[in-house]
């Protein structure tokens, strides 16, 4: 009787179960492909000749050209954070702690994560679209025909450039975000500029800055490897390039947040 009662439910759940298993299998293959690409990139990064000019080109695209967008977003993040915290601190009579909360929030979490997400959306999508277009038009096959390794030629410069430029961008974003909070604290809340800066720098420790910048090195690797992997695996012409670009940005976002969770637990709970 009970088997007959639950048999329709089992028939309904079976497609869901199969879909979950398929998604899990796809994710495992995705992670395997990312690790394989990362291993090859690390190997070819130490094999001469070194493509310095291509590294500088990618550093300019990923770093210098991202400065205006990172500046705008970081500034408004600092302003919004100061406004939101001041609303609560006024009720508690603790307006002076606004500077320390803004600085710690930006340096530890918001600066690295927001900067990485901006770069993943702007630079990562461009990398996937570029390599995907090359894959569709068989330019990558032409590189192999000319005895040029695609990983060394396409992946390594982007991997090195993003790993180096993302910490620099994050440091710049931290300064701009703290500046946004300083403007609100000084000109809106009436806190003395010297007092605001003194509290800000007293609350920050070298560990806060170091952990934030360390995370961004790995975030840069994630963006580079995910973007290049999705570009290499494009299928279906122009439509496939669009799908791969979307997957690249989404997967980069997910892995960046997951990696940030791991490092936050590692730096502040496991090894405080």
Q: What is the pLDDT of residues 178-203, one digit of tens each?
A: 999 999 988 888 888 888 889 888 88
Greater confidence, 14 or 204? 204
Per the CB < 8 A criterion, the answer to whether 132 and 241 are in contact is yes
pTM (two decimals): 0.89
**Higher per-residue pLDDT: 252 or 22:** 252
Per-residue confidence (pLDDT) for residue 230, from 0 to 100 = 92
- C-beta separation of 86 from 98 below 8 A: yes
| Cβ–Cβ < 8 Å for 129, 241 | yes
Q: Which residues lie closer than 8 Å to 171 by C-beta, 6 or more apart?
A: 209, 213
Which residue has better confidence, 49 or 73?
Answer: 73
Q: Report the pLDDT value the prediction gives residue 5, as an integer from 0 to 100.
A: 43
For the chain, helix, strand, coil in percent to 5 are 90, 0, 10
CB 79 within 8 A of CB 184: yes
- Which pLDDT does position 11 carry in this prediction? 59
| pLDDT-wise least confident of 109-123, 132-146, 215-229, 250-264 | 132-146
What Rg do the C-alpha atoms of the chain give, in angstroms? 23
Confidence of residue 16 (pLDDT cuts 50, 70, 90): low
Confidence of residue 74 (pLDDT cuts 50, 70, 90): very high
Q: How far apart are CA 122 and CA 120, in angstroms?
A: 6
Residue 7 has pLDDT above 60, yes or no: no
Task: Give pLDDT tens digits for 19-39.
Answer: 677 777 777 888 888 999 999
What is the structure's pLDDT at 236?
78
Whether 12 and 200 have beta carbons less than 8 Å apart is answered as no
Single out the residue of 198, 202, 213, 259 nearest to residue 111, CA to CA.
213
Residue 3 scores a pLDDT above 80: no
Q: At what angle do helices 193-203 and 98-105 cross, to 10 degrees?
A: 50
Distances (CA, A) of 56 to 59, 130, 173, 220, 224: 5, 17, 21, 16, 15
- What residue has token string 């979490």? 109
Q: What angle do CA 232, 43, 152 make, to 5 degrees?
A: 45
Please provide the average confidence, as pLDDT, over all residues in the chain: 86
């Amino acid at each position: 009787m009970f088997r007959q009662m639950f048999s329709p439910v089992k028939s309904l759940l079976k497609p869901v179960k199969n879909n979950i298993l398929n998604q899990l299998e796809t994710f495992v293959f995705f992670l395997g492909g990312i690790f394989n690409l990362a291993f090859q990139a690390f190997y070819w990064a130490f094999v001469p000749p070194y493509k310095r000019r291509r590294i500088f080109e990618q550093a300019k695209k990923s770093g210098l050209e991202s400065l205006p967008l990172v500046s705008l977003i970081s500034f408004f993040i600092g302003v919004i954070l100061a406004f939101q915290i001041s609303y609560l601190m006024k009720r508690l009579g603790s307006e002076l702690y606004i500077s320390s909360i803004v600085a710690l929030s930006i340096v530890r979490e918001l600066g690295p994560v927001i900067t990485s997400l901006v770069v993943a959306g702007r630079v990562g999508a461009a990398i996937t679209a570029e390599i995907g277009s090359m894959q569709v038009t068989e330019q990558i096959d032409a590189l192999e025909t000319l005895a040029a390794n695609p990983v060394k030629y396409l992946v390594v410069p982007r991997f090195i450039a993003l790993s180096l430029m993302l910490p620099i961008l994050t440091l710049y974003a931290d300064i701009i975000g703290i500046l946004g909070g300083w403007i609100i604290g000084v000109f809106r809340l009436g806190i003395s500029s010297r007092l605001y800066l003194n509290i800000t720098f007293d609350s920050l420790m070298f560990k806060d800055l170091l952990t934030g910048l360390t995370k961004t090195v790995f975030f840069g690797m994630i963006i580079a490897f995910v973007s290049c992997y999705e570009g290499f695996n494009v299928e279906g012409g122009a439509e496939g390039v669009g799908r791969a670009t979307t997957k690249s940005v989404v997967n980069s976002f997910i892995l960046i947040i997951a990696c940030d969770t791991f490092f936050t637990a590692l730096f502040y709970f496991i090894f405080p």
